[in-house]
Structure formats: C-alpha cells, structure tokens
Amino acid sequence: MSCDIIVVVWNQVGITRRCLESIVNRTQADYRLILIDNASDDETSKYLDDFTNTNSERVVLIRNKTNLGFLKAANQGLIKSQAKYACLLNNDTVVTKGWLRELISVAESNPRLGILNPSSTTLGQKVPLKDIDKYAGKIRRYRGEYVEMAQVSGFCMCIKREVIDKIGILDESYGMGYFEDTDYSRRAREAGFKMARVKASYVYHQENVSFGGLKRRDETFKANRKIFEERWGRPLRIFVEAADGLRPNEIKAFLDFANKANWFIIARKDKVEIDIKHSNIKFLTYGRTVYYIKVIFKILKRFKKRYNMLIIRNEKLRKILRRLKFIHKAEVLNFHQALKRIK
C-alpha cells in the first residue's frame, strides 16, 4: 500500500539530511516523499534542490516564500497527498529498516486503527542514536503487535486516508504547534477511529529541535493547552488501588475513560495480572507485606501533578485517605461510585 511521507523543513540542513537519507536508505515500502520548504536559508534550500533532483521519481518539493509555520506547512502536505496513507514525519527523526512497512501492515490488519505511531524515544523506548538499528532488529519479534493510545504524538503520525477524508486536516488554531496532534487524535476518536503505537516499528526522534528557545516553547505550550482544554476539557489523573485485580466491567470502564485522554496509575499486589494494554494506563506492583504502606506513600508524596481521583477497593484504606484529603486534595471513591462517575 502506498504512503506519502510529508516532511516540513526550515533550515537545520544537517538534521534534515540525516532524516532524508535514512528514509531513502531504510524505507522498505511503496512511498512518495513530499517536502515542504518553509523558506529555508540558502544552504538548506540548495540541499533540498540537490536531493530532489537525485531522487526525482520519489520526491515532490513545495516551496514557500515565507515561513508559514509548521501546521500550515504540514497541512499543505496533507492536501497534496493522495495515497492511501499519509505520514507526517519531523525532520529531526531517523527511521530504521522496516519502520513504514510495519506501520502499514498493522494498520491494514486492523480496520479501526486510524492513526499510528512507531515506537520511539518520544514514547519511552529510549535508545542512543548509534544503537537504533540493533534495537530495531531486536523488536522485530513483536511484528503485528500494538498498544492502544488515547492520543498519538506528532513526530511521526501515519494516518489512513479515510481519517483525513472524514475529519480533515490539522487545526491551525494551534499556530506553531503543541497539542495539534492530541486535538487531531480526539477528533479521530470522535469519528470512530483508534490510535496505537506499533511495537515492531522504530523511529528515533531528537526532541525539542523545532522551537527556538525555552521561553518561546513554554509560552506556546501554555497558550495551546488553553485552546485544547477549553475544547476537550482537562485530562484527569486517577490512582486506582486494585490489590487483587480488576473485574471485566472495571477494565472496560477504565479503558473507555483512558481513551478520552485521562491517565491511570493502577496499584496491584505482586504476581497479580491485569489484562490492560494502553499507553495511558501504568502499573505499580508492590509486595504483599508492604502494599498498603507503599500505596499511601505514593499518593501522599505526589505534589507536582496531583491525582484528581483516588479509586480505592480496601474500605479501611479508603477511610484513611479521606481523613488525609487535606494533604493529597483528591476525591476518594469506591469502585461503585467511580464507575458511575466516569461513564
């Protein structure tokens, strides 16, 4: 199945060269490369000309007279794309062998999957650049496997054509970027699609290259978070005490709520298995003799990003945490109350 790989470029000739050469040398799938030159400097502009001429059968180069910003440029690529898949790829990435083929293979075998990320430094699979090919070889044993996500990350978004046809392009209200990928994921979810990380596909991402300085990044992040939360609401952080596991109806409710971009930490006792695989659900496993002490400590030491809700199975622990609410500030619920609340 064909894919249009869209790369937006503004200067950074060395990083851009590394990215494009990795695509040409390591992509084992049918693809076309759409390059958007966002008014780069002379050195970068010349490199893109040379690269396009050398790879003319696969490359389309779009030139902007002024820097339109990432989102508008990315949308130019999405509008230009006609393939069954469009992959928005940052120029500060390096791909590995089989990356695109595996993304498309997983997408083809799962009709409801609409947008896919590869495994990456950005998503917790942190590998030094020099070791990425070796790592990519190791994770091939996970071919066909994926982990569902509430939202994808924009560094490498492989999007089915039917998603673009149904919900359109990126929302340019987000300006230079941040939260546009999360917003797009929510729109796709509302339209009936799922998001996932493909376990056997790997793309290295050198983060925080695109923005010029810390102050600029922080200001943009805060402004875009406000846009997102006014539209979709603020995601909740939820702690679940499930010493001996979860029931099927509880698992379903938590998965549904995680798919709305809420975050779960689930504490369980050692050797207790809970069958949930989702990027927004994390587990803590404690030994049986220290389990409740560890749970209390974990909740009370959380100051920077406090939990909004505590779902507690054990009645005695629930009473203790209600008395300690002046410290942790969270709402304390039993499972029955919580399931009614999050439906």
Relative orientation angle of helices 335-342 and 248-258, to the nearest 10 degrees: 40
How far is it, in rounded angstroms, from Cα 120 to Cα 106?
16
Regarding whether 14 and 159 lie in a shared domain, the answer is yes
Q: What's the pLDDT score for residue 211?
A: 56
Regarding whether 69 and 89 lie in a shared domain, the answer is yes
What CATH number does the domain containing 17 carry? 3.90.550.10
If one counts the domains in the chain, the total is 2
Render 31-100 in DSSP notation, one character per residue. Answer: EEEEEEEES--HHHHHHHHHHHHHTTTTEEEEEESS---HHHHHHHHHHH--SSEEEEE-TTEEE-TTHH
How far is it, in rounded angstroms, from Cα 22 to Cα 244?
47
Q: What type of residue sits at position 271?
A: K
How far is it, in rounded angstroms, from Cα 28 to Cα 173?
35
Regarding whether 149 and 59 lie in a shared domain, the answer is yes
| 75-86 mean pLDDT | 97
Rg (the chain; Cα; Å): 22
Regarding whether 265 and 310 lie in a shared domain, the answer is yes
Q: Which residues contact 298 (CB under 8 A, 6 or more apart)?
A: 239, 265, 267, 284
Regarding whether 258 and 196 lie in a shared domain, the answer is no
CB 121 within 8 A of CB 90: no
Q: What's the pLDDT score for residue 221?
A: 87
Q: What's the pLDDT score for residue 343?
A: 77
pLDDT in tens, 201-243: 999 999 766 555 455 778 888 899 999 999 999 999 999 999 9
Burial 66-86 (b: 16+ CB within 10 A, else e): eebbbbbbbbbbbeebebbbb
| 127-142 mean pLDDT | 96
State which residues form the domain around 256.
Answer: 237-342
Regarding whether 90 and 201 lie in a shared domain, the answer is yes
Write down the pTM of the prediction: 0.89
**Nearest C-alpha neighbor of 46 from the set 5, 8, 77, 16:** 16
**Does 68 have pLDDT greater than 80?**
yes
Share of the chain above pLDDT 70, in %: 97
How far is it, in rounded angstroms, from Cα 120 to Cα 198?
10
Regarding whether 141 and 269 lie in a shared domain, the answer is no
Tell me which DSSP letter residue 301 carries.
Answer: T
What CATH number does the domain containing 325 carry? 3.40.50
Regarding whether 65 and 208 lie in a shared domain, the answer is yes
Q: Which of 210, 230, 250 is the last residue of a domain?
A: 230
CB 174 within 8 A of CB 125: no
Q: Which of 179, 196, 230 is the last residue of a domain?
A: 230
| 115-134 mean pLDDT | 95
Q: Which of 177, 197, 230 is the last residue of a domain?
A: 230
| 306-330 mean pLDDT | 96
Regarding whether 174 and 284 lie in a shared domain, the answer is no
CB 5 within 8 A of CB 31: yes
Regarding whether 170 and 201 lie in a shared domain, the answer is yes
Kindly report the average pLDDT of the chain as a whole number. 94
Regarding whether 216 and 95 lie in a shared domain, the answer is yes
Regarding whether 241 and 224 lie in a shared domain, the answer is no
**Does 311 have pLDDT greater than 60?**
yes
